[in-house]
Structure 1
Amino acid sequence: MSAAEERGTGRAEEWVGPALAAVVERISVTEAEVGARFPLYAEPGTGRWTTTGRGSWTGGFWAGLLWLRARTTGGEAHRRAAAACTARLAPWVGADTATRGLIFWYGTALAGDDTAAAALRAGAARACLAARDPGLGLVPWGDALGGPRMLARVDGVPGMVPLLAGAGPGGAVAAAAHLHRHLDLCLEGGDPAGDPPRELPGGATGKPAARPLPPPVWRFDGESGWLPCEDPPAGWSRGRAWLLLAVADALLLPEVVRALPPTTAAAHGRTGPAGGAAPAGAPDPSGGPGGTERLRGLVERLLVDGELAGGPLVPAADVGRAAGPCDTSAAAITAVALLKLTRVLPGPRAAECSDRARAILRRLVDAHLSGPGRARPAGMLLDGCYDAGKGLAVRHELVWGDFFLALALAALAGAVDLTRV
């Protein structure tokens, strides 16, 4: 039976179950090794983890993996282990970092009716709402992880959108503003209207078939406005995957899409193409009835210009360096985003996203998931790239890669509803 036929029947392909079982078993092997610490990345030859004591920005993915294991096994001991790990994330509630979206959304979203996890998520949401800079329309990147505080980074958007949306009064508005500020900068380069029409041969005008994407990180300067940063580079494939995931999450939250009424660019401190302030009175296309259409249009920009619909199934860590390492974690994130988009895009495009997601996952399972052997455990998603520029963990197992692969497989197996994670 073909992938399209499997999709039509709602049945999971035969390879999904064994792959999910291997990944879940890997969770137990990891748990036995790391104890109360948090796994970060593992050596490809041995599976030995580099860990952190407090979890850093990736702690929620380990908690999420433990919750996913509890869901698939139904074991009470597994549920207790997930709850205990989630509780250890509490010190990050007050940390000055936009990665609290990653930590507390993915660390609690699979916890079901666990009241302690829900309370932790609610507290983190309120803290993030309080940290929002209303003049800039976002929760700043923060300084808890070092470096400049006033940044807009693509990895500060996924998780933060649904987290803020659940923060009570004002939460949906804050989530929408946070999302659209990052889209204005990191996908539209400070110009929500996009590039102006250009002259084509024969005197016609139109949009280019593909346009380079802007940098994934911008720094705010009080005098010059938003300025692009060089690191990570514009070709950072995981950055593109993070943005696609954030937009998919927003499209699944009608209250976020509706949150921003039509207003002026100045009201949200948006920037013009050169990084300065946009002209006073410039329309903001993010809110109102056109919000869904705008987000769908930006999905298309990512799918086409970001090569997420037709590029390599497993992209290079930096698409500008095709000879460099690939990044399976970017592929796994993309697969989850595509599966979410099947719920919100029109029929033909939804089918294409579903088929692309399945093709990515099949490639990850067939070519990058470790099998049984003496040297290393089975169920490792290999060939993830933490930081290509610094040469850090460039062909390793990454805890967030494991999480998104497991989440996607669990969704295909019918164990997880992606509209709630």
Structure 2
Amino acid sequence: MSGDPADRAAATGRTALLGPWIEADTATRGLIFWYGTAFGVAGGDTAAAALRDRAARACLDAYDSGLGLVPWGEAFGGPREVARVDGLPGLLQLLRLQGPGGITAARNQLELQLGLTTGEREPRPAWRARPDGTWAHHSDPAPGWSRTAAWLSLAVADAGDEAERRKLLSHPRVAARFAATSPAVPLARPGGPPDTSAAAIEAVAALKLAARASATCPQTAARLRERATAVLRELVTAHLRDGRLLNGCYDIDHGVATRHELVWGDFFLAVGLATLTGVISPFTC
């Protein structure tokens, strides 16, 4: 964004270091390689574009047509055949780069996850595949997780159609996160610490959803943009120190990084501010 050749060189070098993650068995390759290459691709970095293409092919190769998704994977431990909302963002866009087969895979995965997650009163972020092809509740992350609405909203804003966006925003618990009266920063779980990283993701999702709604429903677009602005204002005035977004909560249930600076918190705060101020378009990344 700065245009400084030294900054571009640093970014290019860091982007290249993502390469080994292409072989990792995890649906979070979508997060790593869509968002991690976005600014390089937008800036004409051919190496970043090639890295993104390799990652997209690897993600499509990992697609399980029997399950209808790219499974969560084994890279972080636990069962492999799990559907999780944090496996959606970025993954759907990478799949769609791979032609008709990838577009079908992305559509199937979004429909499946959206239906599973919003099918209950309390959105459930994780489901485990049964041998008979049905899905059972999975306990990690548990319902009430701070980033459920955030990740799901981001994925739907990026890759969903109008019907899927309406379905998302009609769920009471998801809609509440975009209401002006809701706290800007959600709790990691009821009674737990705040999770600023979830708020940053939600702000970016709100800006993207606002851009999608601008032509057909200006009032909805204005409301979502106002919500994003309020959340970003809260983050930079109450939780930002020396460029670091503090008070993110990675995993309250296991006591891991419960009041910390988190990489996705910093990243999505930067993206939200850049989008809000017009430095980038809502769908640059």
TM-score by length of 2: 0.93
Please name the residue that 2:246 is paired with: 382
Please name the residue that 2:111 is paired with: 180
Conserved 8 A contact 1:240-1:302 = no
Q: How many residues align?
A: 279
Question: What are the equivalent positions in structure 2 for 1:16-415 lying under 5 Å apart?
Answer: 71=1, 73-111=2-40, 112=42, 113-189=44-120, 212-223=121-132, 225-251=134-160, 257=161, 292-301=162-171, 304=174, 306-309=176-179, 310-318=181-189, 321=190, 323-345=191-213, 346-370=217-241, 378-415=242-279
For structure 1, the 5+ residue unaligned runs are 1-70, 190-211, 252-256, 258-291, 371-377
Report how far residue 153 of structure 1 moved. Answer: 0.5
Please name the residue that 1:7 is paired with: none
Distance, in Å, in 1 between the alignment partners of 2:282 and 2:174 is 23
Deviation track 1:229-260 (CA, whole Å, cap 9, x = no partner) reads 12212101112100010110014xxxxx4xxx
Deviation track 1:77-100 (CA, whole Å, cap 9, x = no partner) reads 111111111111111112211000
Deviation track 1:304-333 (CA, whole Å, cap 9, x = no partner) reads 555332421111011xx2x31000000000
Conserved 8 A contact 1:387-1:394 = yes
Deviation track 1:240-290 (CA, whole Å, cap 9, x = no partner) reads 100010110014xxxxx4xxxxxxxxxxxxxxxxxxxxxxxxxxxxxxxxx
TM-score by length of 1: 0.64
After TM superposition, the runs of 4+ consecutive aligned structure 1 residues lying more than 6 A away are none
Distance, in Å, in 2 between the alignment partners of 1:242 and 1:136 is 21
Helix, strand or coil: the match of 2:7?
helix
**Which of structures 1 and 2 has the bigger CA Rg?**
1
Helix, strand or coil: the match of 1:219?
strand
Distance, in Å, in 1 between the alignment partners of 2:124 and 2:3 is 43
Helix, strand or coil: the match of 1:343?
helix
More relative contact order in 1 or in 2 (CA 8 Å, sep 6+)? 1
Distance, in Å, in 2 between the alignment partners of 1:86 and 1:386 is 23
Higher helix proportion = 2
Amino acid at match of 2:258: V
Amino acid at match of 1:381: L
Distance, in Å, in 1 between the alignment partners of 2:169 and 2:54 is 31
Conserved 8 A contact 2:67-2:133 = no
Deviation track 1:363-404 (CA, whole Å, cap 9, x = no partner) reads 11111111xxxxxxx111111111111121111111110000
Please name the residue that 1:418 is paired with: 282
Distance, in Å, in 2 between the alignment partners of 1:144 and 1:393 is 19
Conserved 8 A contact 1:154-1:242 = yes
Helix, strand or coil: the match of 2:245?
coil
Helix, strand or coil: the match of 1:236?
coil
Amino acid at match of 1:124: A
Distance, in Å, in 1 between the alignment partners of 2:22 and 2:174 is 37
Measured on the aligned residues, the alpha-carbon RMSD in Å equals: 1.5
Conserved 8 A contact 1:215-1:230 = no
